[in-house]
Structure 1
């Protein structure tokens, strides 16, 4: 690990000021749980000169608002969020998604904002030497013609990057709907969660809409869909500490046998948390049937592209949606 300057911030304003001051001369980063950052620093993939510790600036509360929305502080641990009674009752897909990720020890340390900001698990990004446009812009993407079975996307990729976004939590959040609140030297602003993570396109090193000097302070979840139930389904090689090969977050509300409303999101198959509006449109307002669910699952993977070893994810993504929907509907009956 390379030498770096460590500074502990006392409050939000000081954290932003320290980060902005360090950014003028060299790379500077915020340290929250550190479950991704410290790994990448040890691997010499990230080389910050200054680290600003934000563990004592507050932002560690979960607040249920009067209108049914939930305001989550950036420093709320993954464990606390997953176990919060309101989340368990009203957003079970979110609770399940968090508990399906990492290990108990990591969830105890990892934070909500850190989960949103975590970097990809592509081996070519993390090895420090292979061509990788995220790590070394313009060097190429070794994954496209290389080993791309596990953590590489069939949706949302480009010729410059096909690494999947690794978060389980974010898949549930994009299905629920949320707002990311950020603060920087120029003040505060709100970003729709659906627009926060960027497609790689021609600039895969730019992963989010967060400004260089901005800090996530909160994430506000939309109010739960009336009369709905939800679930998160994760398909992976093993059930312990494994990233998704394909996953789905599904929220559905029925009027009898008719789908009143539905939200579907995918993980493990895409370069960012992936909402599936085509699949939702197939179901919304329709009478349920096995054929309809199968049609929706196929629509969820519309536009998917195989890069060789990861081609099986196209069908697996459909299975993640179809099985999740089927299980939810069985629970309702």
Structure 2
């Protein structure tokens, strides 16, 4: 591992000043992703600024009824919080599905949303990877790609986003709050992750040097019947092959409101807006759920070895919506 400087920040502004103008400085909280990448040589920061001691942890309801989750709140604390479990159960379910208990005790909300892809070529220094070395190519296109993207990818990158937490965050229209030396700002999670296009190394819309301070879950988006289901290659501690977060409101047999988000299929959590539009106002039946899923997946462009994800995502959407509608 490359030698690096370490500083423990005592205030948010102290942390921001410590990384200002330094492209090779990184914020450190739980370190469950960053430290692994440093060990592999994928990340080689010259300075780490530890933000774990900053007053950015906790889950609170604001005056608007929104739930505000601090950036350094651990995944375990998010999953166990009574208001998260009551109002946003898909979020609690996703976090519990996301990692081992030891990792959940260390990993933080901001770090989870910012974690890098688990594509094996990204982590393998001799391999071509536009996300790691812009312009070097994408080894996954002609290599092992059975677990890669089927939606929203490009010839520059077919990696998927590994975050379980980010999928229900997309479902509930979360807003990411941050701070820079110029002041505070926020980004809806629908715009937080950048499209792949030909610049996959530019992953989020955060300004340079920004520190995430919290994530806000709108009270109006709460879905007490929401569900998160994850298909993975083994039952414990594995990243999603495909996952679905969904919330459904049925009145008199008709779909009044619906939200669907997918994980494991794109470079970012995928909001299934085509399927949602197909379902609103129609009958809440398995056949209708299947047709809506197929409409969403018409845009899929699978690679030679991951076409099974199209069928898997379709079946998973249908199954989760049918379960909620009962």
- Select 2:260's aligned residue among 264, 284, 300: 264
- Select 1:294's aligned residue among 290, 294, 312: 290
- Select 1:312's aligned residue among 303, 308, 314: 308
CA distance in 1, matches of 2:39, 2:137: 23
- Report SS of the residue matched to 1:63: strand
Q: Do the aligned partners of residues 226 and 76 (structure 1) sit closer, same or farther apart at CA in structure 2, a change above 3 Å counting?
A: closer
Could you tell me which residue of structure 2 aligns to residue 43 of structure 1? 40
Offset of 1:223 from its aligned partner? 1.2
CA distance in 2, matches of 1:16, 1:29: 10
Is 1:56 equivalent to 2:53 in the alignment? yes
Q: Deviations over 1:148-199 (max 9, x none)?
A: 012x100010010010000011000101111111111221111111100112
Offset of 1:228 from its aligned partner? 5.1
Gaps of 5+ in 2: none
- Report SS of the residue matched to 2:219: coil
TM-score normalised by length of structure 1 = 0.96
Could you tell me which residue of structure 2 aligns to residue 13 of structure 1? 13
CA contact (8 A) 2:28 2:51 kept: yes
Q: How does 1:1-333 map to 2 (within 5 A)?
A: 1-20=1-20, 23=22, 27-150=24-147, 152-225=148-221, 229-330=225-326
CA distance in 2, matches of 1:313, 1:6: 42
CA distance in 1, matches of 2:59, 2:224: 22
Deviating more after overlay: 41-50 vs 286-295: 286-295
Alignment RMSD (CA, Å): 1.2
Offset of 1:225 from its aligned partner? 4.2
CA distance in 2, matches of 1:296, 1:173: 22
TM-score normalised by length of structure 2 = 0.98
CA distance in 1, matches of 2:25, 2:202: 16
CA distance in 1, matches of 2:175, 2:284: 31
Offset of 1:68 from its aligned partner? 2.4
Q: Do the aligned partners of residues 268 and 227 (structure 1) sit closer, same or farther apart at CA in structure 2, a change above 3 Å counting?
A: closer
Gaps of 5+ in 1: none
